[in-house]
């Protein structure tokens, strides 16, 4: 896989993403912990995360259309520069703000700016990445970015857990802002052949969006599959975004480094899973691996919830809980990568290049559609019902994608074709 770095354009995209994603891992971990500590409210923390997710969800279809109509590389570095400047300004403002209400207002403003630009960045990078490598290198390229993403998460979260107490939230903002600026500078030097459509050839925005929707509906089994992914995200996102920070911060009163260790275990599992898939390469059978991956992921998430509930009820001592939770998270992440990478490669090959931006953005919208609602509802459940009620809700919802992906006829016909 390392030979891909000999490709100048691929290497420039990698350098930019590697830098900015480490900073983003810092930022996401620190802000989540900061809001929970500031407000002592899982509902407030859930509302903050849901706000950014909803904004990104609404903007993603629009961003996908622009990714097909405008210069995708230019979108990449412009959005990185905007995010970098916004986070740097936010970091300096936090130095001067003392009141909780002002701090919360600043954080909500920043998450809106970041969400809008994230939507444009994600749609553009998904559309431009297949243009950087040969078709036979696509599986290795996807595995490479997943592998590097795991390394970024490991470095970012591990450092964030320790440095949050040393540097404070302000300097973490500044580090993230600088990382976006470096990323944007790197992406400016990517050179791809891009021909802007003449005005007479450009279709209207609504027609572009409708075409993407018709493409998804015409692909037999694709919509059903995306609904399965939607419910899987709806079930799993609250576990990571709400339940874990709530347990470690408010219930167990542990330092942020404890939560970092658990999240690093998950990232290490993603790293190992990415390496395994990258080595196997094109020998993977998509349908078989997705079945194996969904079974492993479902079992892993169930084990995580069981362990968390037992330590929360003081049935299990904390030391035993942590020593079991870390390897369970690691194995769950390996199963998750076994599920996601072959699927991503197959979908890229199944979708025509001229509609990739539109289709991927709509698929992202469908796939991420229930996450904001799930995070918000889980915050309400934690605020008024507790961790036990949340686990019952998550387990019930997670059964839906499990059954669809294993036994849905149309979905399995699609998976077999990939």
DSSP 202-219: PPPHHHHHHHHHHHHHHS
Helix (H, G, I), strand (E, B) or coil at 411: helix
Domain boundary assignment for the chain: 2-417
pTM, whole model, 2 decimals?
A: 0.75
Side-chain-facing half-sphere of 220: CA atoms under 13 Å: 8
Stretch 146-165: mean pLDDT, rounded?
72
Residue range 154-178: average pLDDT? 79
CA triple 331-266-11, angle to 5 deg: 115
Residue 68 has pLDDT above 70, yes or no: yes
In this prediction, residue 56 carries a pLDDT of 85
Grade residue 72 by pLDDT with cuts at 50, 70 and 90: confident
For residue 39, pLDDT beyond 80:
yes
- Of the listed ranges 101-115, 251-265, 355-369, 400-414, the one predicted with least confidence: 355-369
In 3D, which of 401, 403, 400, 380 has the Cα closest to residue 390?
A: 380
Could you tell me which CATH class the domain 2-417 is placed in? mainly alpha
Whether 22 contacts 172, CB under 8 Å:
no
Q: Which residue has the higher pLDDT, 219 or 366?
A: 219
More confident residue, 135 or 6: 6
User: What is the mean pLDDT of the segment spanning 333-354?
Assistant: 75
Q: How many residues does the chain have?
A: 418
């Amino acid at each position: 896989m390392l030979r891909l770095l000999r490709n100048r354009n691929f290497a420039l995209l990698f350098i930019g993403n590697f830098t900015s994603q480490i900073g983003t891992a810092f930022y996401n971990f620190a802000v989540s912990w900061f809001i929970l500590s500031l407000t002592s409210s899982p509902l407030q923390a859930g509302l903050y995360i849901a706000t950014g997710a909803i904004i990104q969800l609404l903007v993603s279809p629009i961003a996908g259309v622009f990714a097909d109509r405008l210069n995708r590389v230019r979108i990449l570095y412009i959005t990185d520069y905007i995010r970098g400047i916004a986070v740097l300004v936010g970091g300096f403002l936090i130095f001067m703000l003392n009141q909780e209400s002002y701090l919360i207002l600043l954080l909500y403003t920043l998450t809106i700016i970041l969400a809008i630009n994230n939507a444009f960045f994600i749609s553009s990078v998904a559309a431009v990445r297949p243009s950087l490598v040969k078709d036979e290198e696509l599986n290795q390229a996807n595995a490479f970015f997943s592998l590097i993403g795991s390394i970024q998460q490991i470095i970012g979260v591990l450092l964030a857990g320790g440095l949050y107490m040393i540097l404070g939230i302000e300097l973490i903002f500044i580090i993230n802002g600088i990382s976006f600026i470096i990323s944007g500078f790197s992406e400016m030097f990517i050179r791809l052949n891009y021909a802007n459509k003449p005005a007479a050839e450009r279709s209207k925005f609504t027609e572009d969006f409708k075409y993407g929707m018709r493409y998804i509906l015409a692909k037999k089994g694709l919509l059903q599959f995306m609904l399965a992914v939607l419910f899987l995200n709806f079930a799993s996102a609250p576990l990571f975004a709400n339940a874990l920070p709530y347990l470690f911060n408010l219930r167990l009163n542990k330092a942020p480094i404890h939560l970092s260790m658990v999240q690093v275990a998950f990232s290490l599992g993603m790293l190992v899973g990415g390496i395994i898939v990258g080595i196997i390469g094109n020998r993977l059978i998509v349908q078989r691996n997705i079945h194996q991956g969904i079974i492993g992921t479902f079992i892993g998430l169930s084990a995580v919830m069981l362990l968390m509930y037992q330590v929360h009820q003081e049935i299990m001592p904390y030391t035993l809980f942590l020593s079991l939770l870390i390897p369970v998270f690691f194995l769950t992440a390996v199963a998750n990568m076994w599920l996601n990478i072959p699927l991503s490669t197959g979908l890229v090959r199944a979708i025509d290049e001229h509609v990739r931006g539109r289709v991927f953005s709509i698929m992202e919208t469908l796939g991420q559609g229930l996450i904001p609602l799930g995070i918000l509802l889980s915050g309400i459940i934690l605020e008024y019902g507790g961790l036990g009620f949340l686990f019952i809700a998550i387990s019930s919802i997670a059964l839906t994608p499990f059954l669809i992906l294993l036994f849905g006829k149309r979905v399995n016909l699609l998976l077999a074709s990939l």
